[in-house]
Structure 1
Amino acid sequence: MFAMRQLYSLLVGSTFLLSLTACPLVEPVDRVPLPSYKPLLMARTQLEQAVAVLPPQELHNTGKIYLRDPYILINEQYQGVHIINNQDPSHPQPVAFLRIPGNVDVAMKGNLLYADSGPDLLTFDLSNVRAARLLHRVREAVPELPMPETAQVPAEYQVQNRPADAVVVGWQKL
């Protein structure tokens, strides 16, 4: 009985292996090259001085949306936050643009807006959205901005080849 099972297993295994040799060969697929990105850098002093409330700007590369009745806050990737009055949803009115270099994320609690600016975490008082005030900056509170997709960074743009005071505020596809 044991010898019959071994013979049966050998027969099934051999048949399987022979059937594999009858399969047509598959052509190798060319690998798609990964895109390359370079970091957009800003000197720390320039980053800290660039935060400002500006007149409304055009929407171009939007990200996250936050609703704080009657306002809508819309992230402009790596640039800042659009503030829009949505009291009349059929006619939203742009109010201001809060320039925050390196911004990709926002959150609110009460009148406080929390936003990243490159590696820093900023707190704004939005009790008057037309005159938003920066209350506090925590340096190096969040990790460096990641690239927008799986990609590669050419050697000349690697961390070790950047100026010491440089902060990543965005990424540009090469």
Structure 2
Amino acid sequence: MKNRFLLFFLLAIVSSCVTDGDDFYERIPFDGTGYTPIYKTAEEMAKIEVIGAQPLSKPGKIYVLEPYLFINESGKGIHIVDNSDPKKPQNISFISITGNYDMAAKGTFLYADNLTNLVVFDISNPKVPKLTKTVPNAIPVNNYPPFDGVYFECVESKKGIVTGWEKVPMSQKPNCMR
């Protein structure tokens, strides 16, 4: 008898919170903007290279291997900075890694995400980092923007791999939202 009463009580509470026509999708106002996916091919995504120094624009995590700093550039890769003179740090190179948002290090190995892949670099000589291993599909990736309460164009996998999102003006409300 107690179980029936508890079940009835829970059902009454849940049903009091739901109303006809109450749709989360409809409650988020459309402001004429939304996110569109940025696509790349598998070959473009897998291209990892050490290039000349790049300016920092959206820095993230920092790893210190005295006197070097490894600074994540959100979505793009990792800056290598010689910090021998902290008053005049020298940006020496950049590891270009598509879809790189996170990194970690242990000893002389630097681990970074490359969208769904995990890449490992030997940084025993920080001036010449070496890609030593790629672990494919080690990281789950969601096919929606990393924001809540936004509209976005639905992903079409035949166009490629989603490597990022761009907020753009839209003439009509897209079919996807989060």
TM over 0.5: yes
Superposition map of 1:1-174 within 5 A: 32-33=29-30, 36-48=34-46, 50-144=47-141, 147-150=145-148, 151-155=150-154, 158=155, 161-163=156-158, 166-174=160-168
- Structure 2 distance, partners of 1:41, 1:31, is 26
1-structure distance, mates of 2:28, 2:135 = 43
What amino acid does structure 2 have at the position aligned with 1:113?
L
Amino acid at match of 2:41: A
Whole-angstrom distance in 1 between the partners of 2:40 and 2:60? 21
RMSD, aligned α-carbons: 2.0
DSSP-derived class of the 2:61 partner? strand
- Displacement of 1:46: 2.0
CA contact (8 A) 1:118 1:167 kept: no
Q: Which is strand-richer, 1 or 2?
A: 2
SS in 2 for 1:66: strand
The count of corresponding residues between Structure 1 and Structure 2 is: 139
What is the distance in 2 between the residues matched to 1:148 and 1:63?
Answer: 16
Q: Secondary structure at the match of 1:123?
A: strand
Whole-angstrom distance in 1 between the partners of 2:115 and 2:126 = 22
Choose 1 or 2 for highest CA Rg: 1
Residue 6 (structure 1) aligns with: none
Rounded Cα–Cα distance in structure 1 between residues aligned with 2:158 and 2:98? 18
The answer to whether the Cα contact below 8 Å between 2:30 and 2:151 also exists between their aligned partners in 1 is no
For 1:99-133, what per-residue CA distance to the aligned partner results, in whole angstroms no more than 9, with x for missing partners? 00100000001110000011110001111222211
1:101 alignment partner AA = T
Flag structure 2 segments of 5+ consecutive residues without an equivalent.
1-26, 169-178
Sequence identity percentage: 35
- 1:3 counterpart residue number: none
Question: TM-score, normalization: structure 1?
Answer: 0.72
Q: Which amino acid in the other structure matches residue 169 of structure 1?
A: T
